[in-house]
Amino acid sequence: MEKRFMTGNEAIAEAAIQAGCRHFFGYPITPQSEIPEYMSKRLPEIRGVYLQAESEVAAINMLFGAAGAGARVMTSSSSPGISLMQEGISYIAGAQLPCLIVNIMRGGPGLGGIQPSQSDYFQATKGGGHGDYHLLVLAPHTVQEAVSLTMEAFDLADKYRNPVMVLGDGYMGQMMEPVEFKKTAPPKLPAKEWALTGAKERPKNLVKSLYLDPEALEKHNLEINRKIQEMIRNEVRVETYQIEDAEVVIAAYGTVARIAKTAIEVLREKGIKVGMIRPITVFPFPYKTFEKMAEKVNKFLVVEMSLGQMVEDVKLGVCGKAQIRFYGRTGGMVPSYDEIVTEIEKFLKEVS
């Protein structure tokens, strides 16, 4: 199978096209502008539609329109732009529309910086927009994984009639790795009978999120929640790495997990038995994996490019049964593997 050397941004875009996405609406923002640029070139080649919206606000609403019309659609942005999209994402979730939103995170808050970060974890997993809903959030740690998760994201979005997010960062978006695009058989998805295609020989369809009667709105929310609970039961994805004999476990996702893998190699050479739990879905979060691990291991080091967001979920999973330390870099600073090595060594020295 031919391998192509691509940036994470380009690979995500190509993966979307291979998954059948023919409509992209977006807006430039560093460090993900390569995604709209790639789409602007590629989509016309296959009679798809690339449209640069006037803002991220417009882009997410174009997504609402195109998803409501039954198409496989995608947008991408980075932290400040994703903030602008929150209202639209809430509407998409409320109207139960499928779509993919890619967030290539950068330093924040506000205009922040253009270097990578993971400081949008709360926004991605705890809400972001108003109301009771959740995105299904996938966090790749290699460009190849970004390809496979992007392709799966469309199927998951259709399956649950819910927006899905691929959560990356500036490192992931900009770095180049060899990737292959394997064609997998498309799963059996239900036809989109709810889509707006013109009320021909059927009653009219509505794509809306307004339910003025509180009883009706509660019922609607319960239905959305039913899907979220199904996601929680069925869609948790997690990688456990060298945990069989681990005495201390690192928790990290995305680019940081990669860096942690190098740290683990170095530590193991020093004789330190360290492993890692890498959530691949940060929503639904692999709480059970942490809960089970906490029965055997009593030390967890959570490493993030933020000042501590996923650490709260780790604490929930561990439920007080183990010690949790946090190490973070922020503002666009990326931890190096030897910083993680030092933190583990410190942790082990201070705690038995």
Partner 1 sequence: MQVELEKIFERPKTLLPVATHYCPGCGHGITARLIAEVIDELEIREKSVGVAPVGCSVLLYNYLNVDMYEAAHGRAPAVATGCKRVHPKLVVFTYQGDGDFASIGTAEAVHAAARGEKITTIFINNAIYGMTGGQMAPTTLIGQKTTTSPMGRTIEQAGFPIRMAELLSTLGGATYIARVAVNNPKHIIQAKRVIKKAFETQIKGLGYSMVEVLSQCPTVWRMTPIEATKWVEEKMMPYYPLGEYKVPEEG
**Under the rule (CB under 8 A), what is the footprint of partner 1?**
23, 25, 49, 51, 53-55, 57-59, 61-71, 73, 87-88, 91, 95, 196-201, 204-210
- Those residues whose C-beta lies under 8 Å from the C-beta of residue 315, and which sit 6 or more positions away, are 324
**Side-chain-facing half-sphere of 51: CA atoms under 13 Å:** 18
| Shortest CB 101 distance to partner 1, Å | 14
19: number of Cβ within 10 Å: 20
- When the beta carbons of 91 and 171 are compared against partner 1, the nearer one is 91
SS3 assignment, position 83: helix
- When the beta carbons of 206 and 307 are compared against partner 1, the nearer one is 206
- When the beta carbons of 3 and 41 are compared against partner 1, the nearer one is 41
- When the beta carbons of 115 and 162 are compared against partner 1, the nearer one is 162
**What whole-number distance in Å separates Cα of residue 194 and Cα of residue 68?**
8
| Shortest CB 137 distance to partner 1, Å | 22
- When the beta carbons of 210 and 222 are compared against partner 1, the nearer one is 210
| Shortest CB 130 distance to partner 1, Å | 11
**What whole-number distance in Å separates Cα of residue 50 and Cα of residue 37?**
9
Identity of the residue numbered 178 = P
- Those residues whose C-beta lies under 8 Å from the C-beta of residue 163, and which sit 6 or more positions away, are 89, 92, 93, 97, 98, 99, 100, 101, 135, 136, 157
SS3 assignment, position 152: helix
**What whole-number distance in Å separates Cα of residue 132 and Cα of residue 228?**
10
HEC secondary structure over 237-258? CEEEECCCCCCEEEECCCHHHH
Sheet holding 323-328, edge to edge: 238-241, 274-279, 248-251, 299-304, 323-328
- When the beta carbons of 1 and 199 are compared against partner 1, the nearer one is 199
- When the beta carbons of 64 and 181 are compared against partner 1, the nearer one is 64
